[in-house]
């Protein structure tokens, strides 16, 4: 627990994560978690995934800017991401973090930049998604999301299964017919607002999956099931079959750890299990890469722990020998 707290604290220190990321990219280990330091690298990774029939969702890692100038820089880079995706004719979208757009400085500033990004995407016929961050931001994220989605209609939002409030939030959002990315939740939250046990989070995830897929059947939600937990994926697939949902009415999302690169390779056994309607999240700029990959609490184990999981064998070739990491990471 102490070590997890230390890692959590370190991950909030930009100088530390920048250094880890720099060395990590140089030495290769961070490449398992992020597609590249630059937009060009992320686009190259995206091109490869798209050539294998996947959609991508581009994301800048890192959170919480402290100046308006920094927020505007991030805003411009998100717009550039959408434009580049479009120029290269790549299937996919971008996912924004509101704390990178000045949420800590001024809610209206943040809303106007989120709107600007969504408007540019809409002009290109594309969509954006908004990440959900720690619980201090839940209300304001919902407000900004709701207003931009109501006006432009091309936004998706992540919601967290570990929060008690999420079902109520989904009922609130239903009228704007949103795309909803369902995640277990990656932040350490107190027990009065969030489920603490993996079994409870999993049960909540499955319940919300059913709610979202039933909503999809009625045209209320476009659910994106974002989990690497095959029990969650299997539950969603079973519910989609029960509801006779067309594959265009829901999707799966995963992040491109090294196993997911293998998913793009037809020879990979595990790859055969990847859901056909799967978007892969591709991250640029490794700053903060610890956050999505190793911060998750014990119920949200890290990419590293994947290797030890009896449920999820490491990617291997048809003869059982381990696969080399693919060219992407
Ligand atoms: C596309 C996407 C977007 C996300 N957006 C948000 C967000 O906006 N807000 C937020 O709070 N959280 C977000 N998350 C993180 C999420 O909340 C979880 O912390 C994370 O996905 C781990 O939970 P799990 O559902 O994969 O299941 P777990 O029960 O944690 O893990 C299931 C199995 O998958 C393995 N695993 C875990 N992570 C990975 C990985 N990256 N690659 C391969 N195997 C893995 C585990 O080791 C375990 O064996 C996102 C996750 C994804 C995939």
Any idea what DSSP says for residue 163?
A: B
Whether 159 has a pLDDT exceeding 70, the answer reads yes
Dmax (CA) of the chain:
56
Identify which has the larger pLDDT, 174 or 275: 174
Within 13 Å and on the Cβ side, how many CA atoms surround 172? 13
Lowest mean pLDDT among 12-21, 25-34, 84-93, 299-308: 299-308
| Domain at 43-300, CATH from 3.90.70.10, 3.20.20.220, 3.40.50.150, 3.30.200.20 | 3.20.20.220
Which of the listed residues 195, 261, 293, 300 should we mutate to test ligand 1's pocket, taking the one with most ligand atoms within 8 A of CB?
A: 300
100 lines ligand 1 (CB under 6 A): no
pLDDT at 313: 29
Atom of ligand 1 nearest to the CA of 224: 1
181 is known as an active-site residue = yes
Q: Give 119-123 contacts, CB < 8 A, sequence gap 24+.
A: 119/152, 120/79, 120/82, 120/83, 121/82, 121/93, 121/94, 121/154, 122/152, 122/153, 122/154
* Mean per-residue pLDDT of the chain: 75
pLDDT at 57: 83
Whether 8 has a pLDDT exceeding 50, the answer reads no
Mean pLDDT on 82-103:
93
pLDDT at 285: 45
pTM: 0.79
pLDDT at 15: 53
From 32, 54, 120, 131, the catalytic residue: 131
Lowest mean pLDDT among 117-121, 182-186, 272-276: 272-276
**Domain spans in the chain, listed from the N-terminal domain onward:** 43-300
33 lines ligand 1 (CB under 6 A): no
Tokens 């930009």 belong to which residue? 14
Separation between Cα atoms, residue 161 and residue 320, nearest integer Å? 35
Separation between Cα atoms, residue 251 and residue 179, nearest integer Å? 10
Whether 317 has a pLDDT exceeding 80, the answer reads no
Q: Which residue puts its alpha carbon closest to atom 31 of ligand 1? A: 229
Mean pLDDT on 93-99:
93
pLDDT at 151: 98
Produce one character per residue of 9-27: b if its CB has 16 or more CB atoms within 10 Å, e if not.
eebeebeebeebbeebbee
Atom of ligand 1 nearest to the CA of 202: 29
Q: pLDDT digit string (tens) for 45-79?
A: 778 778 877 788 887 776 689 999 999 999 998 99
Mean pLDDT on 118-136:
96
Whether 260 has a pLDDT exceeding 50, the answer reads no
pLDDT at 19: 53
Mean pLDDT on 169-180:
97
Q: pLDDT digit string (tens) for 188-226?
A: 999 999 999 999 999 999 999 999 999 999 999 999 999
281 lines ligand 1 (CB under 6 A): yes
pLDDT at 97: 93
């Amino acid at each position: 627990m102490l070590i997890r707290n230390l890692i959590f604290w370190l991950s909030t220190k930009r100088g530390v994560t920048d250094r880890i990321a720099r060395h990590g990219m140089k030495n290769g280990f961070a490449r398992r978690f992020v597609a590249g330091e630059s937009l060009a690298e992320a686009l190259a990774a995206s091109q490869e995934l798209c050539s294998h029939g996947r959609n991508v969702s581009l994301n800048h890692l890192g959170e919480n800017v402290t100046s308006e100038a920094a927020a505007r820089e991030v805003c411009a880079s998100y717009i550039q991401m959408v434009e580049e995706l479009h120029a290269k004719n790549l299937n996919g979208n971008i996912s924004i973090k509101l704390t990178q757009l000045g949420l800590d400085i001024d809610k209206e500033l943040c809303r106007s930049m989120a709107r600007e990004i969504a408007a540019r995407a809409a002009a290109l016929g594309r969509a954006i998604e908004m990440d959900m961050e720690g619980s201090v931001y839940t209300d304001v994220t919902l407000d900004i999301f709701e207003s931009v989605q109501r006006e432009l209609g091309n936004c998706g939002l992540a919601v967290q299964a570990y929060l008690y409030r999420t079902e109520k939030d989904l009922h609130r959002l239903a009228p704007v017919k949103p795309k909803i990315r369902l995640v277990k939740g990656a932040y350490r939250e107190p027990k009065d607002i969030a489920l603490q046990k993996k079994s409870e989070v999993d049960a909540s995830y499955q319940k919300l999956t059913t709610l979202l897929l039933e909503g999809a059947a009625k045209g209320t939600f476009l659910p994106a099931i974002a989990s690497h937990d095959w029990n969650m994926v299997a539950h969603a697939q079973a519910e989609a079959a029960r509801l006779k949902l067309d594959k265009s009415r829901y999707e799966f999302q995963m992040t491109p750890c090294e196993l997911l690169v293998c998913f793009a390779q037809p020879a990979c056994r595990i790859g055969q299990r990847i859901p056909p309607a799967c978007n892969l999240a591709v991250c640029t700029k490794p700053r903060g890469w610890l956050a999505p990959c190793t911060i998750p609490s014990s119920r949200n184990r890290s990419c590293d722990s994947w290797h030890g999981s009896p449920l999820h064998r490491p990617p291997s070739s048809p003869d059982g020998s381990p696969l080399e990491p693919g060219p992407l990471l």
